Structures are given as C-alpha cells and as structure tokens.
Structure 1
Amino acid sequence: MKRYASLAAGLLLLVVGSAARAEDAKPFITNKDVDLTMILPPPPANDSAETKAELGEVLTMQVTRTPEMEARAIADAEENVWRFADVMGPNFNKDKLPKFSAFFDRVVETEGAVVDPAKDVWKRPRPHQLSDLVKPVVKLSSSGSWPSGHATVGTMMGIILSDMVPERRAEIMARAAEFAHNRIVGGIHYPSDVEMGKISGSVIAAVLLNRDDFKAEYDVARAELRSDLGM
C-alpha cells in the first residue's frame, strides 16, 4: 500500500507540476488591448449570397483535396510554432530552445485572449454547422468561425518569427499562409474567416512588437534562436 501511495503522490506532483507550467504561459495582451470587434467588419449573414458562395468553395475543396493535403491540414491543427520546423531546419526543436519555446507559448495564449471574445460576439457558425454536406477532416469545433484563430496565430507566429530570422522571411511567411489556408482544406473554416484571421494576426503582432514588456522577452528568445541556428 505504501508503494502505491508513493506512486500516487508522485503522479500527483507530476500532474500539478505540468498544470503549473501550462499556467505559466500568460498572454501578453487581451481583448481589452485589441478589440477586434472595433477593427473587423461583422461576418456575412448565414443566408447571404456571400456565405452560400463560401460554402460552395468549402465543398469544392472537400472533393478536390488530396490525402496529402488532408494529412497536412490535420497536422496543422496543432497551434504551436514548431509547425514551422520544415522551413527552419533540423536545429529548430523545443528541447534546444526552452526560452524561445516559453516565449511563443505566450504568443499562442495571446491569440486566444484577443480572438475568443470576438468570436463569442459574432458567433458565426462553422461550415459543417450550416451544411451537413461539409465533412471536416480536422477536429470539430463549436466556437465561432469569425475570425479564424488558427489563421490569426499562424500569422502572428510568422510575422514574429520572420522578424527574428529575416533571412528566411519569404519561406516563413509562405508557411504561415499555408498554415492558415489549411483551415479551409480541413473543412472547418470559410475563406473569409481565414482572411479576417490574417488581418487580426497582423494587427496583434504589430501591437506586440511595440510593447516594451514583449520586446524584453522577444530579445531573449531571438538571441537563443539565432545562436541555435548558427546565425
């Protein structure tokens, strides 16, 4: 019994420690700093010609996407900067870059803190919620569709990462665009959701890059990354 008690205690410490680390990632800003409802237009009405046309685009993608495209969209459902590894090289991994990793955890948390309240205001239904013909290949979500959080955070990560490594700006931003587009490939967003996400990500990144608290952590993360990449 003592042995099992010790094991249980150890597991409890592991869970608590993991939760504490997850909670360490605090957003740099929230919707109180950037209110997207004051920046973006409202989404098209559900019965509008625009939404019907976009549903057509989603359905067209559904019958033309390849297994390879689907696999890429499924992998890109993960919201973290390590999805840029294919353009950053073999040294770009979490184990080698602890400060950089912690910094981008905060970037990801910032997206949710800014975007989620706006989604809750507009409550645009996802494509599969308007049409039973839409069959997403990625995890379903019932949160608002406008704007795309993935497109927002992908754009944010792309802008910030390319600012750290301008030598690879073209490749990084192309990867950010693919990350965003894969929400359409996955069947979980309309094209306009993705476009609004790109605008949102650009606005949030611009605000962050002009904040002293952000720049202090940015400088540390950038130095670690460039050293690891041999730059």
Structure 2
Amino acid sequence: MKVNQLIAKGTIKPSVFLLVMMLCLNFAYGQKSTQKKSEDNYNRPLTPVRGYYSQLESFSPAPKSPNEEVDKKKFITVQAAIDKRLSIKPIYLSDVSADDFKLPDPPANSSAQTRAELNYLVEVEKNRTEEDIRRCHYMSGIFYDLNIHPGDSTYEQNRKNLFYIGRSIGTWFNPQTLPLTADLMANVWRDANYFIWALKYKYARIRPYMLEPRLKNLEQAGAPAYPTGTATDSYIQAYIFQELAPQFTDVFVKDAYDMSQSRETIEVHFPSDVEGSRILARQFVNKLFQNKKFLKDFEKVKEEWALKGKENLTDKGGI
C-alpha cells in the first residue's frame, strides 16, 4: 500500500511521516557531507617550487625556433615493452586515466630551460664526490618490485623498501610491525607504477646524457625520462605518511627530496623530470583520498598506527 493511502486511512500521521523523511534526508546528507569533508581534508595543495628548481623554471621551455631537428629526438620504446608494463592495472584508481593528471609538458630539447638544466648537471658532476656516488647507487636499489611474491628470497627486503622514506622516525616503522601499512603501500606502488609508465610513454623524453656529451652518467636508462619513477614514488610515500604522522612531515619530504636528487647526481634525469614527478605525486595522492576503497584501507592503517606506532620501552631484561 502506498504511503499516501496509509496517511489517508490514518495509519500514518502526516507529522510522523514528515519527521521520518526529514531524519532520513538528514542522515543521507550527513553521510555525503562527512565523506565530502573527509575528501576535502586530504585535498592538499602543492607546496611552491623552490631553490634551483625555481631558478631553472625562469628559463623558457619553448623550442628555440620551429622545426629544430633536436626537438624530434624521442626515447623509442617497442610496443611489446609498453604493453607488458601497462598490463599491471591499478587497484584503487581503476577509473582514472593518465590524461587525468595535469603535468606541464617537459621543456623542448632545444629550449633555454633544457640548456640551463644541462649546464646545471655538468656542474653537479664537477662537484660530486665518491661518497655522493656511493650513496646514489645505494638509493637506486631502493624500490618495490611488483614481481616479487611471498616465498621469494628477497620478499622481506622488498617489503622493507616500502619504509625507506621515513625510516628514521622509529624502530617500529617497518613491515613486520605495520603489515597493513605495507599492504596499502604495495597497492599504492602498483597504482603509481601504472600511471608513471603511461606518462613516460606519452612524453617519451630522452635522457640528459643523450643531449649533452660532457655528462658522464653513472647508469644506463632503458626507458623515457619524464616523469621519474623514483621521485614520484618517493613523494607519494612522503605525502601518504605525512597524513599518518604529520609531526614528521619534514622528515618524509626530506627523504623524498634526497631520493629525487640522487637521480640528477647520477645524471639520468633532468631537474624538470623531478619537479614534474613532484607535481604528479601530489595529484596522485589527492586522487587516492577521493577513492572509497583506498579510504577504507587507509582507516585500517590509521588504527594500526594508533596501536603500534610507538616504541616498546618495556624493560625486558632489567639492569
């Protein structure tokens, strides 16, 4: 029987019906309002560019002139490699495309900005020390391999790599103590991996040493330069961890900054690759915090940090 018929018969009083309807509407609105408020709370702006990154951006990224031959140079990738990389689909951002990320185009090869960036990398090489080289090579090995699974000999170390950014905040900051955090960050890495590679193939930017013969690069790259995976992943981790422990924001961001700069020291990336990655990371994390599945997992991680995110100072052996 319809509601208006029940009201006509006196089964339901109009005042009661209106009260129930108002409560239902308020509840529904409240749920949407709470969700929207939650999303807005995590919609962070990008901090302003600074230092030499800002200085380099004062140069024009436009081609020196139309039809410059050097601007035709692109990093060529065979289609089979592209298909393989992009076969690992996102877990959270499955309804997002690479075009949803608004990155600045990388500077043209013939541009004044690219020339300034190459000049900067030449100066970096002049000043880098053996310790710089050792440190940067070490950082090159810090990444999460999506092809390593439980039971593999390197599984534990692979999971530990997810905690390199922020490693100094406590002895509890590890995958053994925070397994839900490790699972979340592994899923995030998978999502990021997809979009990083999609954008690399979209822009197909060549590496700096392919333009500047004076550079003595310490690695050979097998993929396009823009954006850099190391920098993007590092800033993504920093931005997520800062939501869990905002008091350590400076630590997380400094770790990401150091990881990013290591790619310039090794001379496989332009500074604009790194800055583009920082922009991508901020947009990526903002999109994660608009995703219901991610938010559900993130709430569990927050509970894990509230319970386990502290040192165990119990006296076990006595003095």
| TM interval, short-chain normalised | 0.7 to 0.9
> In the aligned structure 2, how far is the partner of 1:135 from the partner of 1:94?
37
Distance change >3 Å, CA 67–CA 82, structure 1 → 2? farther
Give the deviation of 1:104 after TM superposition: 0.6
Give the deviation of 1:177 after TM superposition: 1.8
Q: How does 1:96-135 map to 2 (within 5 A)?
A: 96-135=177-216
What's 1:154 paired with?
234
Give the deviation of 1:134 after TM superposition: 2.2
Give the deviation of 1:182 after TM superposition: 1.8
Structure 1, unaligned runs of 5 or more: 1-22
Q: Output the aligned Cα RMSD.
A: 2.4
What's 1:29 paired with?
93
What's 2:139 paired with?
76
What's 1:12 paired with?
none
Q: How does 1:5-84 map to 2 (within 5 A)?
A: 27-29=91-93, 33-36=96-99, 39-77=102-140, 78-79=142-143, 80-84=161-165
> In the aligned structure 1, how far is the partner of 2:294 from the partner of 2:213?
43
Distance change >3 Å, CA 88–CA 148, structure 1 → 2? same
> In the aligned structure 2, how far is the partner of 1:81 from the partner of 1:149?
14
- State yes or no: 1:208 paired with 2:288: yes
TM-score normalised according to structure 2 size: 0.59
Structure 2, unaligned runs of 5 or more: 1-86, 144-160, 312-319
More helix, by proportion: 1
Distance change >3 Å, CA 38–CA 198, structure 1 → 2? closer
Does 1 or 2 have the higher relative contact order (CA < 8 Å, sep 6+)? 1
- State yes or no: 1:186 paired with 2:266: yes
> In the aligned structure 2, how far is the partner of 1:25 from the partner of 1:50?
35
Distance change >3 Å, CA 58–CA 120, structure 1 → 2? same
Aligned-residue sequence identity (percent) comes to: 23
Q: Which amino acid aligns with 1:28?
A: Y
Distance change >3 Å, CA 118–CA 106, structure 1 → 2? same
Compare CA radii of gyration and give the structure with the larger one.
2
Q: Which amino acid aligns with 1:114?
A: F
> In the aligned structure 1, how far is the partner of 2:248 from the partner of 2:206?
36
> In the aligned structure 1, how far is the partner of 2:180 from the partner of 2:89?
12
How many residues align structurally? 207
Aligned-partner SS, 2:165: helix
> In the aligned structure 1, how far is the partner of 2:284 from the partner of 2:263?
20
Q: Which amino acid aligns with 1:81?
A: L
What is the CA deviation profile of residues 69-94 of structure 1, one whole-angstrom value per residue up to 9, with x for unaligned ones?
22332222222432125432222222
Distance change >3 Å, CA 141–CA 28, structure 1 → 2? farther
Q: How does 1:84-99 map to 2 (within 5 A)?
A: 84-99=165-180
> In the aligned structure 2, how far is the partner of 1:141 from the partner of 1:68?
22
Aligned-partner SS, 2:103: coil
Distance change >3 Å, CA 38–CA 91, structure 1 → 2? closer
